Amino acid sequence: MKDILILGIETSCDETAASVVANGRKVLSNIISSQVDLHAEYGGVVPEIASRRHVELILPVIDNALKEAGVTLDQVDAIAVTHGPGLVGALLVGVSAAKAIAFSLGKPLVSVNHIEGHIAANYISHPDLEPGYLCLVVSGGHSHIVHVESYTEFRIMGRTRDDAAGEAFDKIARVLGLGYPGGPAIEKAAKAGNQEAFDFPRVNFSDVPYDFSFSGLKTAVINTVHQLRIKGEPLPVEDISASFQKAVTDVLVDHTVSAAREIKTDTICIAGGVAANSLLRESMTERASEMNIRVLYPSMILCTDNAAMIASAGYYSFRNGRTADWRLNAIPSLKIGESG
């Protein structure tokens, strides 16, 4: 049986990425050009700079992905591209490139929701994984608890009402002077800290029990830092980092495990940039194992934004006859389940 080859393109934020994936699970190439160093001096992603850099890199990155995979564009069965959510200018670069390639070659065009792409990363790392299961998607822009009912059907059980978890990490890292990106910086500092040093708040909602809120936690940490500085006291960066990280992790784990118990699943997946956090992985695995629930997460390279996950998600949409037309556009506020 002939392999179905999908060329995936991802430009939703500050990674220019292209990948060729066979049958949704076998990665033939996965090229990622990161702009982290470019944006580090600003303490976060500058949309205009990101968009211009994508324009410079998109074609070379696609060429490299094809070369590494040992295939030509003629051998690719479909072109999958992220069309949201994300930065509108950045998204437009990828969408424009994908549409041009698909149109010129007469290939099917497949639109992919970035969040659904993160979920699909687990199919690459875990070939035995099949829907339905529960997935916690946590990144710089998203915090969702998703019941994955099929490869193309998703039900949101919880989401953040304000800051995403990764966004909160970035903001607190900036306040503590740890630099950008914040997640790895805080995790590194936390290893030398006491996670019980500060009792930061954990927010729960009675109406939607699986929703998150990290703005109050962020404010509590910032107020603590300001009070210490006003008093002229030393700033225990490691203890604050550890206590903050523990507060975020506690809420993510509690809500996810409770949602998994409700739908009676035996599998929890974690996806997105924050899925690389070791405390989150360890805490989720420990809590879930008490109920005989296994916890899966992608390899480190597939936690961050990449095109292999887009190609994987695109494969399942393509297999289900879901293709886009030439009116496809970037949708920066695209909701999960709204591809095509």
What was the pLDDT predicted at 139? Answer: 87
Judged by DSSP in three states, 174 sits in helix
What are the structure tokens assigned to 75, written together?
Answer: 């051998």
Judged by DSSP in three states, 98 sits in helix
Q: Domains in the chain, ordered, with CATH?
A: 5-119+303-319 (3.30.420.40), 131-298 (3.30.420.40)
What was the pLDDT predicted at 38? Answer: 77
Judged by DSSP in three states, 232 sits in coil
pTM as predicted: 0.94
The rounded distance, in Å, linking the Cα atoms of 138 and 118 is 9
CA distances to 120, 140, 157 from 240, rounded to whole Å, are 34, 20, 30
Angle at 282 between CA 291 and CA 197, to 5 degrees: 115
Q: Which residue has the tokens 């072109």?
A: 79
What are the structure tokens assigned to 70, written together?
Answer: 């040992």
The rounded distance, in Å, linking the Cα atoms of 162 and 98 is 32
Provide φ and ψ at 250, rounded to 5°.
-55, -45
H-assigned helices in the chain: 36-40, 47-69, 88-105, 114-125, 165-175, 182-190, 215-230, 237-263, 278-289, 300-303, 308-319
What was the pLDDT predicted at 45? Answer: 84
Q: Categorise residue 20: left if φ over 0, alpha if ψ from -120 to 50, beta otherwise.
A: beta
pLDDT per residue, tens digit, the chain (340 aa), is 889 999 999 999 999 999 999 999 999 999 999 887 778 777 778 888 989 999 999 999 999 999 999 999 999 999 999 999 999 999 999 999 999 999 999 999 999 999 999 999 999 999 999 999 999 999 878 899 999 999 999 999 999 999 899 999 999 999 999 988 899 999 999 999 999 999 999 998 988 899 999 999 999 999 999 999 999 999 999 999 999 999 999 999 999 999 999 999 999 999 999 999 999 999 999 999 999 999 999 999 999 999 999 999 999 999 999 999 999 999 999 999 776 5
Q: Which residue has the tokens 């790392």?
A: 125
What was the pLDDT predicted at 206? Answer: 85
The rounded distance, in Å, linking the Cα atoms of 275 and 289 is 18
Looking only at the bridges linking them, the beta strands covering 294-296 and 267-271 are parallel
User: Which residue from 108, 325, 332 is spatially nearest to 340, judged by alpha carbons?
Assistant: 325
